[in-house]
Amino acid sequence: MAHDRVAMFIDFENLAYGVENNGNVRHDEPDLDVDIQRIVRFVRDEGRLVLARAYADWRNASVRQHQPELYVQGIETVHVLGRRHGSEIKNSVDVALAVDAVRSLYERQFDTFVLISGDRDFLPLLRVVREHGHRIIGVSVRESASKDLPNLCDRFVYYRDLWRTYGPDEARERIGPSSITIRDLAVFKEQLRQLLAEEVGAGGILGATLKPMIRNRIDPGFDETQFGFLKFSKMLEAMPDVVGFEYTSDAHGGDIRVFATGGQARDLETSTGEGAPPTGDDAAPDLDAIDGVPPSSPLHAPVIPIRVWEPTPEAFSSRARARLARTGLHLDQSRRVDILAAIFAELPITDDEYRTQAEILERVEARAASNGVELEQGVPRRYLWALYQSWIFDINPPDRGLDHFERGLLVKPAYRDLDRLRLRLEQSLVYKVYELLPETAEDARARVSELLEVDDERATTLLERVEDYRRSQQLRGR
């Protein structure tokens, strides 16, 4: 990528207004600001910047003040006149940027396309760029970013992470690690540990393959900069309790091969937060002792007091949420119920009315579109797959030899009711975190109730169903 030719297009009003209206600032981090130099440093790490344009109505004072720095950094400013509609001004930045970007596909040679905007109106543009075989990098302020954008990008970076990671070394050292960053890293490490255990064999996996897998299975918006690292390999170096790796000398020269170390799950908590951090085999690594983490890294931290991990509400929530994140299902009860209701309306519940998963998904998406309901990309598929794995369907006998996506499905009579369907899905979620629950029934019920946002009666029912299922599996010798 060092020799890639890079084209960068900035929806400057989206960036500036996103930064200006970002009220989600943590107490341990400074306010964001538009810093063109940091953006250019980040992009130049991806290759040679051959085309750079920033689009805005430059009459507006909030963006006009940045023109001198854009000029110094060699970025062309493109003026797009806003159009007045009543008391509001509507600009045409999206159209002008998209037209120039598509024109550049044919008039210029470049390898990597960088879009700095969180506007979902650019989704069709990104699809066209991807069809031409270019690598796509997206940058956006988290609060103003469409949830769909990361799915079309090879790399997606949130502006705060870029701003922090590519800042001056002295500023990064002054900022230091935040308790939220440390806990987020603990969650990610648990997710990565499970991914390696379930998906990667003893032969390991290439780093170039692992990173897309992380985006596909854990977080579409994953990027190492969110944890303060400039390079993916440096992040792996700082996680010796989760992964080991070696540089390859074969046809994949220049890449790394990553192996699971087989360590146990660990939790990180700060000594200033609620509860004390873990110790012993469950202790977090001493970040001062990790090779590859420079003193100026945001993850460079003093030794943390530690204790044996216990399923306190905070520790249980951290591990359980990390474990369930890979399912793609919502822990927010209202959202979970809404999506299940949308799927249930299109499930085959009449005898002999078999439908494949593809047919069900097509009907769900058509119904959502006709009702003006927006479903995040891939969410119905993940819910339907979770239901399929929960054995709620009968399979059309002639289709048993086919791939599971091609099998005709029919909902079993026991689940032809929305609440029963929801109960079965929630039971599968509790089953996945059962071994993390405390031993006392009252505490276990409280953890389930808080995690899934259900009442105590529902939590008790879910625990009883999981325990009955586990006993039946033991009797079968499984």
Specify the CATH number for the domain of residue 300.
3.30.420.610
**Residue 176 pLDDT more than 50?**
no
Q: Is residue 42 part of a domain?
A: yes
Between 208 and 434, name the one with better pLDDT.
434
Phi, psi of 373 (to 5 degrees): -95, 130
Question: In this predicted structure, what is the pLDDT of residue 340?
Answer: 92
146 and 39 part of one domain? yes
pLDDT in tens, 341-388: 999 999 998 888 899 988 998 898 888 888 777 777 678 888 888 898
pLDDT in tens, 212-251: 778 767 776 677 887 878 788 888 888 888 888 776 654 4
Tell me which residue of 78, 123, 77 sits closest to 96, measured CA to CA.
78
73 and 25 part of one domain? yes
Question: In this predicted structure, what is the pLDDT of residue 175?
Answer: 45
Specify the CATH number for the domain of residue 109.
3.40.50.1010
Which of 14-28, 29-43, 288-302, 409-423 is the least confident region?
Answer: 288-302
Confidence of residue 102 (pLDDT cuts 50, 70, 90): very high
Question: In this predicted structure, what is the pLDDT of residue 389?
Answer: 83
Question: In this predicted structure, what is the pLDDT of residue 2?
Answer: 53
pLDDT in tens, 116-157: 998 888 999 999 999 888 999 999 988 778 888 888 888 888
Instruction: Count CA atoms closer than 13 A to 260's CA, side-chain side.
Output: 19
pTM over cut 0.85: no
Between 86 and 139, name the one with better pLDDT.
139
209 and 341 part of one domain? no
Question: In this predicted structure, what is the pLDDT of residue 283?
Answer: 41
218 and 297 part of one domain? yes
CA dist., res. 451 & res. 323, Å (int):
12
Question: In this predicted structure, what is the pLDDT of residue 55?
Answer: 94
Residue 33's CB: how many other CB atoms inside 10 A?
A: 9
Which of 120-124, 329-333, 406-410, 435-439 is the least confident region?
Answer: 435-439
* Whole-Å CA distances, 150 to 139, 359, 367, 411: 9, 26, 25, 34
Measure the N-to-C terminal CA separation of the chain; round to a whole number of Å: 48
Which tokens go with 114?
């960088």
Q: Is residue 369 part of a domain?
A: yes
Q: Give the rounded percent of residues in the chain with a pLDDT score beyond 90.
A: 23
157 and 188 part of one domain? no
120 and 222 part of one domain? no
75 and 213 part of one domain? no
183 and 211 part of one domain? yes
Domain endpoint, select from 276, 310, 344: 310
CA angle centred on 46, ends 45 and 52, rounded to 5°:
100
Which of 151-155, 203-207, 266-270 is the least confident region?
Answer: 266-270
296 and 423 part of one domain? no
Confidence of residue 98 (pLDDT cuts 50, 70, 90): very high
Q: Is residue 345 part of a domain?
A: yes
Domains identified in the chain, total number? 3
Q: Is residue 363 part of a domain?
A: yes
Domain endpoint, select from 257, 277, 310: 310
Secondary structure element (H or E) that encloses residue 425, with its range: helix 418-433
127 and 224 part of one domain? no
Q: Is residue 322 part of a domain?
A: no
Phi, psi of 290 (to 5 degrees): -85, 125
pLDDT, the chain, mean = 77
Q: Is residue 432 part of a domain?
A: yes
116 and 193 part of one domain? no
Confidence of residue 297 (pLDDT cuts 50, 70, 90): very low
**Residue 75 pLDDT more than 70?**
yes
Which residue is associated with the tokens 């499970």? Answer: 194
Confidence of residue 442 (pLDDT cuts 50, 70, 90): very high
Q: Is residue 315 part of a domain?
A: no
Domain endpoint, select from 150, 167, 184: 167
245 and 338 part of one domain? no
Q: Which residues span the domain enclosing 83?
A: 5-167
Strands (E), 374-462: 393-395, 409-411
Residue 398's CB: how many other CB atoms inside 10 A?
A: 10
